[in-house]
Structure 1
């Protein structure tokens, strides 16, 4: 059997096994270990052990639990709710204003956490009930929350971009800066769509009644304080890192300690908040670790088969495709895989195959990291098996059905595809800021 056929067999076995409902990391690890044993005998079992040792020695991985702790501490201590009250008052008078405020909340939460899961949880628990109570269309708000949560792995400090930087051996600081303007671009496109559609169809997102908006200017200005502390944490953490004062791991520790200090300062550092934060941090961190461990084992089998060279030979020599055709094929493959895998699994399995090829084609790997994250979020929101769709269904109230969720995402998927096309056509949107800070600076 040729290496190409073995690779195809491994992928098909993995996807079929996932249809049985098994956990992602269990399926990936099982297929990897079994394939290694069948190919190389008893010595193949050492691949799984080697992957575990590699993971334990991966020092930058310490950033994951620290960033996750920071985000959940800020959300569990009620700071996210304070932020939503601020947007509620300031944006409520616009058509679709609360939905616009929800996008703003998601951008700030993304800057505090770096995970789409956390943004989804906060949006579904804080924003969704209020939007429904105010008469917003359930299909509209379902799409808004899913689209807003997609910014979590793009706006710095993105956890996924940290992992991409480790695998692609690219500077994390440059990747974070590269994601900044594309994240704002997508948020801006979402807001423009919401305002225009709610102006044309006011019943989808009615503005707040005047009595709810008649708040003295002094009180409105006081509400702006809700955004000061999260902004200070973000600037402290990112500033120290970008100035070279702290390393990536030290910067994540600064963020975690700052979030703890803010919760204490506001009098919200209770035993319940600490317990919930630690529980959520451990759950998400362990999920990441297991997926990375399994995917490293799976990827090691690919390396042993020479899959990278086989893919290069297939695309460049046999099919004779051009650089842009190959790049578009890669993005389409990510969308298909995103129906079955989460972004971490896709990154650790496929990136070692694609990244060398992207570099060989002459594309910038910082720019490609941004394309990867956007494409992952498009795949997460694409029916029938998008990860975000089922996560939203698990968190949404009973009156929002899975069919409603499917219908809600299509406008935002189209918007994200437009944003992706813009960034592909104009790479400087992603590359100007890191070039300006790191190269010219």
Structure 2
């Protein structure tokens, strides 16, 4: 029997033995103990292969009936059915879940359009001079593609078919190749737009927009740590990741580029500008030269556009403060003129009868020929005068801060250096990236930017992302009705699974709370008198261990409702806790012996690549994930800075 089967059976046996040892005798068993029994049985049933959603629903309905029957046997059935309907309707009424099928549909469109092959080849050539270039290109491709799809199995499987044979052929270590593919494929769990963050937000009641903003920098940090590890390892041990030969780094130039680079200059800007002068472009059409010059100037135009928009933002005048004042109240604060006007509104002294008011109130009398009645109509007009004259002046534009000019200087210097080394070979690589990486990256950034900056809700951004996936597939001439139909079918299938999981988990959590299982866990945790750090370590260890036998969806929908009520006691932000959980589940996906990424890769790997080699390759990347988890906990600003800047 295989080792994995023995491991699974040993876990099941340990759970069953633990139930018999820890549970009290039937005569001393309370409803709370029944809740804990239900939780253990759900884990056992899922590990035995029963469908998660229907297992949750079945266990929840059965134990909810027991809870209601212990209170009122006559109404137990009716109350159980009411609970099912209410919980199912609450899931249907959750607007956040609408974005899940749209993001999944966008991911399947990008996957079925087969854009990953072109993306990997262009990144491979662009990073040819970087140590461990193939592994680095694999991680970057996985990060971009995982961000676009969010489907770990699809990314690992496709990269296993595409990148693993290329790395093995180039002499890369099997362990490093397998680790780069499996670790990079799991980045879609953390980097937005992640379906996991949507599910966690709907479960924990946390804003998905803030979760996306918070997960952005931790995801980039984790991908950067992967790339740094590969570069250092390739530098220290070239035999593990040998550099590419000159022939493999060679880029074929088109005919016009060959002529210009040999006759005028190998640098793009001097070469193209020189070819446009006089008779030198006799063999190259002017239209071709202008097109290539326009492509070459795109980075400069993008820099100018970005700095121009930034300048407009940092120099825009602040809104002038508006002070609302009630008529005739507080006018004494407006100065002497205002005071005299306020005196003019007063009644003449009573002892004078109908005689003219005293000379102190002369401002009223002067406008009406000395008659009090003539003074009254002019008073409101004169009283309004200070309001008009006190209007604030038009706000002036602010001066750009020093930090903007520093950033502008650094960017300008970078542009100068970039174009100083911008050869025709690099222009061809840039055009490859322009046709593979940039459209996909632009679509992803547009979706994320519209969510993070409040331009669109996650659902609206997901709809635009799905439409962008269709447009992208059409631009690459991969769009057809068959692909659209298949993508829609797979998105519907996956979305139905996630929604049924929500219904099942909602019924399960209601039943668990009804039985009092949550209270027993709360009392037990609080009785330990733990510090917030100790509780955080305990929670993350439990989640890590649960990642062995369970999928992330099951961990989120089953166990997060147990942890979330405990967070206020330890003064832990649910947003920060969610970021830690998302990064922890990355580790759970790579931890043997039940690492799903390893089995995805093994299914498409050559026969000589063993499962143990894949597990050994994942170990260093799992250590990097644990290090990143510690960094995120020690420096919470990595995840919380962007949400605080944008939304506080």
> TM bucket by the smaller chain?
over 0.9
Q: State the match for 2:42 in structure 1.
A: 14
Superposed CA offset, 1:55-113 (max 9, x none): 22222212111111112212221222221112110123333211111111122123323
Where in structure 2 are the equivalents of 1:140-219 lying within 5 Å? 140-215=176-251, 216-219=425-428
Contact 2:31 2:517 in 1 (8 A): yes
8 Å Cα contact 2:135/2:177 also seen in 1: yes
* Equivalence for 1:86: 122
Residue number in structure 2 paired with 1:131: 167
Q: Which residue of 2 aligns with 1:413?
A: 622
Aligned to 1:268: 478
Q: 2:143–2:223: 8 Å Cα contact kept in structure 1?
A: yes
Shifted more, 181-190 versus 92-101: the winner is 92-101
Change (3 A) 1:280 1:435: same
User: Higher relative contact order at CA 8 Å, sep ≥6: structure 1 or structure 2?
Assistant: 2
Aligned to 2:464: 254
Q: Deviations over 1:291-345 (max 9, x none)?
A: 22222222121221233333222111x2222111111111111111111221122
Structure 1 pair 3/116, CA: closer, same or farther in 2 (3 Å)? farther
TM-score between the two structures when normalised by the length of structure 1: 0.93
Against the structure 1 CA distance between its residues 218 and 70, is the aligned structure 2 distance closer, same or farther, given a 3 Å change threshold? same
Task: State the match for 2:518 in structure 1.
Answer: 308
Against the structure 1 CA distance between its residues 95 and 170, is the aligned structure 2 distance closer, same or farther, given a 3 Å change threshold? same
* Aligned 8 A contact 1:75 1:81 in 2: no
Distance 1:152 1:20, change over 3 A: same
Give yes or no for the alignment of 1:320 onto 2:348: no
- Residue 625 of structure 2: SS of its match in structure 1? helix
Alignment CA distance shift 1:321-1:178 (3 Å): same
Query: What residue number does 1:354 align with?
Result: 563
CA distance in 1, matches of 2:452, 2:591: 35
Matched-pair contact (CA < 8 Å) for 1:367–1:430: yes
Normalized per residue, the structure richer in helix is 1
Report what 1:116 is aligned to: 152
Distance 2:95 2:544 in 1: 30
Distance in 1 of aligned mates of 2:122 and 2:214: 28
Contact 1:37–1:45 (CA<8 Å) still a contact in 2? no
Q: Distance in 1 between matches of 2:90 and 2:601?
A: 34
Report the Cα distance in structure 2 between the residues aligned to 1:323 and 1:132, rounded to whole angstroms.
46
Task: Using structure 2 for the length normalisation, give the TM-score.
Answer: 0.64
Partner of 1:68: 104
Q: Shift of the alpha carbon at 1:3?
A: 4.8
- Post-superposition Cα deviations, 1:200-233, rounded to whole Å, max 9, x if no partner, equal 3323222222101011222111112022211221
After superposition, the C-alpha distances for 1:37-68 in whole angstroms (9 at most, x for unaligned) are 33334343554444333322222212111111
2:445 matched to 1:235? Answer: yes
* Alpha-carbon distance between aligned partners in 1 of 2:521 and 2:503, rounded to the nearest angstrom: 24
CA distance in 1, matches of 2:605, 2:60: 35
- The verdict on how the C-alpha distance between 1:324 and 1:116 changes in structure 2, with shifts beyond 3 A counting, is same
Cα distance in 2 for partners of 1:152, 1:189 equals 16
Determine the C-alpha separation between the residues in 1 that align with 2:628 and 2:107.
26
Equivalent residue pairs, number = 438
Q: CA 1:93–1:180 in 2, change beyond 3 Å: closer, same or farther?
A: same
Which blocks of at least 5 consecutive residues in structure 1 are unaligned? none
CA drift of 1:429 comes to: 0.6
Instruction: From 30, 33, 48, give the equivalent of 2:58.
Output: 30
Select 2:489's aligned residue among 258, 274, 279.
279
RMSD: 2.0
